[in-house]
């Protein structure tokens, strides 16, 4: 098989793009697609996955980046008021792999059983795509129950937000582990820098996820350009962190190939 290195979680945008009315922060720095392509070349990253960014007013820049570069895939945003025909048109654009529910920091937790969300999930499932999910650990259990009950494939962001002391010994963590057992749920080892200063705990955290799901349903993501980072980090640092938390190069290789197969089709 050809060597692959897949970053499954980046946010691409420029400082000139309009922000969403509900944006929780204004990023200090942007990551245009051209800059990410340079990072890919510099660090040997063969493919990337653009995560829909809730801070932006729309997905136009993401979709344009996907059309520009066949080595990119990505997710788009959707809500209960999204017209199914419009969502289908966006999801069938070149490079779109699914939708993202960015449900962190919500005053009220959305319900996947809501008729509007059911229409969204039906469209996603009909297209053979997935839901990317980012939500706090305390809210993860009911959301995963709703999504798994529907049957749509799910990719959970940022390790599933494990507790800094208890790990997955919380209702949300246990729900994630059960969901991984279904075979329809995957999880990203992404944004590890968010868990510092307890970064050393991520070795055990990653090992538990890989043991439970297997390396074929665990992905890696940098979370570049590291919006909201409390401590300085960079692309090389996050690649090095991945090598520390998953020290076996054969396992890392399987993780990258699994990501490639999921988002791009089997590598040849």
How much is the average pLDDT of 82-101?
93
The model's confidence at residue 5, banded by pLDDT at 50, 70 and 90, is: very high
Mean pLDDT taken over the chain: 92
Backbone torsions φ then ψ of 78, nearest 5 degrees: -160, 150
Evaluate whether 160 touches 124 at the Cβ level (below 8 Å): no
Residue 1 has pLDDT above 70, yes or no: no
DSSP 8-state code for residue 163: B
Q: Partners of 155 in the beta sheet?
A: 132, 186
Alpha-carbon distances of 196 from 67, 133, 224, 246, rounded to whole Å: 35, 22, 16, 16
**E strand or H helix that includes residue 39:** helix 33-43
**pTM recorded for the entire structure:** 0.95
Q: What is the pLDDT of residue 24?
A: 65
Q: What is the pLDDT of residue 120?
A: 97
- CA pseudo-torsion sign 80, 81, 83, 86: negative
The model's confidence at residue 193, banded by pLDDT at 50, 70 and 90, is: confident
Domain ranges of the chain: 6-264
Evaluate whether 75 touches 132 at the Cβ level (below 8 Å): yes
Picking from 160, 146, 251, 246, the residue whose alpha carbon sits closest to that of residue 206 is 246
Picking from 168, 157, 88, 81, the residue whose alpha carbon sits closest to that of residue 128 is 88
Q: Partners of 48 in the beta sheet?
A: 7, 72
**E strand or H helix that includes residue 220:** strand 218-221
How much is the average pLDDT of 207-226?
97
Tell me how many degrees the CA angle 74-85-47 measures, rounded to the nearest 5: 10
Tell me how many degrees the CA angle 201-207-211 measures, rounded to the nearest 5: 150
CA separation for the pair 63, 95 (Å, rounded): 8
How much is the average pLDDT of 17-34?
77
CATH classification number, 6-264, choose in 3.30.470.20, 3.40.190.10, 3.20.20.140, 3.40.50.720: 3.20.20.140
């Amino acid at each position: 098989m050809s060597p692959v290195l897949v970053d499954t979680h980046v946010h691409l945008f420029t400082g000139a793009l309009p922000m969403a009315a509900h944006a929780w922060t204004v990023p200090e720095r942007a990551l245009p697609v051209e800059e990410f392509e340079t990072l890919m070349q510099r660090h040997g990253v063969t493919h990337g996955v653009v995560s829909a960014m809730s801070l932006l007013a729309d997905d136009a820049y993401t979709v344009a980046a996907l059309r520009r570069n066949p080595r990119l895939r990505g997710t788009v945003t959707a809500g209960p008021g999204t017209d199914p025909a419009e969502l289908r048109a966006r999801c069938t654009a070149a490079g779109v792999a699914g939708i993202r529910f960015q449900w962190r920091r919500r005053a009220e937790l959305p319900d996947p059983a809501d008729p509007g969300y059911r229409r969204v999930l039906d469209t996603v499932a009909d297209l053979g795509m997935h839901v990317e999910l980012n939500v706090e650990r305390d809210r993860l259990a009911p959301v995963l129950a709703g999504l798994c009950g529907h049957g749509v494939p799910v990719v959970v962001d940022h390790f599933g937000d494990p507790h800094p002391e208890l790990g997955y010994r919380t209702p949300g963590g246990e729900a994630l582990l059960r969901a991984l057992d279904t075979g329809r749920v995957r999880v990203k080892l992404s944004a590890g820098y968010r868990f510092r200063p307890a970064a050393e705990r991520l070795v055990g955290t990653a090992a538990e996820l890989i043991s439970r799901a297997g390396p074929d349903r665990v992905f890696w993501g940098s979370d570049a350009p590291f919006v909201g980072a409390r401590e300085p980090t960079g692309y090389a640092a996050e690649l090095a962190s991945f090598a520390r938390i998953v020290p076996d190069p054969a396992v890392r290789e399987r993780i990258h190939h699994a990501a490639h197969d999921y988002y791009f089709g089997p590598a040849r």
